[in-house]
């Protein structure tokens, strides 16, 4: 049975998934190579080879011009982090297709632990169940601003605004406790 690629696949995410697969393959076969893991992953997604899947992903990415789409790295020096969230490094990858938003993140926390997350949500102004008993409402506020409101049991527990600069090089995430500045890479 094949896995489905998301509507807005991300090549960096797939490369990392292949690297994770390589570690698994090497437990069974110490001679396994990255190309073996890439091929296995591509087959899982229904493609004949990694180059075929890569070409498909690149074509999908090229077709989407949403300013959020892409990879962003936090500039810690320009950010005002929450006292309880003094991360060392953060990377966020956005994949946007219409109102469907996929966010993959990787954070190196204050203790040096890598924490990864992946969330997909609809930015259509409708409240949807999210994680840990929370609900999320995400709304586009123009082409370069995304607003989110998190609730739990009907009570607002968080608000955030994501804004891409006019030149498309900076993403600023703002909530009541912090302002994170990220640069496009």
Report the DSSP pairing between strands 89-97 and 70-74.
antiparallel
Alpha-carbon distance values, 183 to 13, 15, 79, 134, 173 (Å): 18, 21, 11, 29, 11
Walk along the chain (185 residues) and give the pLDDT tens digit of each residue.
678 887 668 888 899 999 999 999 999 999 999 999 999 999 998 888 999 898 888 776 665 578 999 999 999 999 999 998 899 999 999 998 888 999 999 999 999 999 999 999 999 999 999 888 899 999 999 889 999 999 999 899 999 999 999 999 999 999 999 999 999 98
Q: Which domain holds residue 20?
A: 11-63
Q: Is residue 46 part of a domain?
A: yes
Q: Is residue 5 part of a domain?
A: no
Beta bridge partners of 138: 148
Which of 42, 63, 84 terminates a domain? The answer is 63
Shared domain check, 76 and 137: yes
Q: Is residue 4 part of a domain?
A: no
The whole-angstrom separation of Cα 32 and Cα 13 is 21
pTM for this entry? 0.65
Shared domain check, 79 and 53: no
Asked if 133 and 151 touch (Cβ cutoff 8 Å), the reply is no
Structure tokens at 87: 């991360």
CA triple 121-58-72, angle to 5 deg: 55
Alpha-carbon distance values, 83 to 79, 97, 140, 178, 179 (Å): 12, 34, 29, 9, 12
Q: Is residue 155 part of a domain?
A: yes
**Size of the chain in residues:** 185
> What CATH number has the domain bearing residue 180?
2.40.128.20
């Amino acid at each position: 049975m094949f896995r489905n690629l998301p509507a807005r696949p991300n090549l960096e995410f797939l490369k990392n998934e292949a690297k994770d697969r390589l570690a698994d393959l090497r437990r069974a076969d110490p001679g396994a190579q990255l190309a073996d893991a890439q091929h296995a992953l591509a087959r899982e997604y229904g493609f004949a080879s990694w180059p075929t899947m890569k070409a498909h992903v690149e074509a999908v990415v090229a077709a989407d011009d949403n300013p959020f789409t892409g990879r962003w790295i936090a500039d810690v020096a320009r950010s005002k982090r929450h006292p309880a969230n003094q991360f060392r490094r953060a990377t966020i990858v956005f994949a946007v297709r219409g109102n469907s938003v996929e966010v993959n993140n990787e954070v190196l926390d204050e203790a040096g632990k890598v924490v990864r997350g992946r969330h997909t949500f609809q930015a259509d102004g409708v409240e949807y169940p999210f994680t840990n008993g929370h609900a999320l409402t995400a709304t586009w506020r123009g082409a370069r601003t995304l607003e989110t409101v998190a609730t739990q049991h009907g009570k607002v527990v968080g608000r955030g605004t994501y804004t891409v600069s006019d030149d498309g090089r900076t993403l600023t995430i703002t909530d009541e406790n912090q302002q994170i500045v990220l640069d496009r890479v």
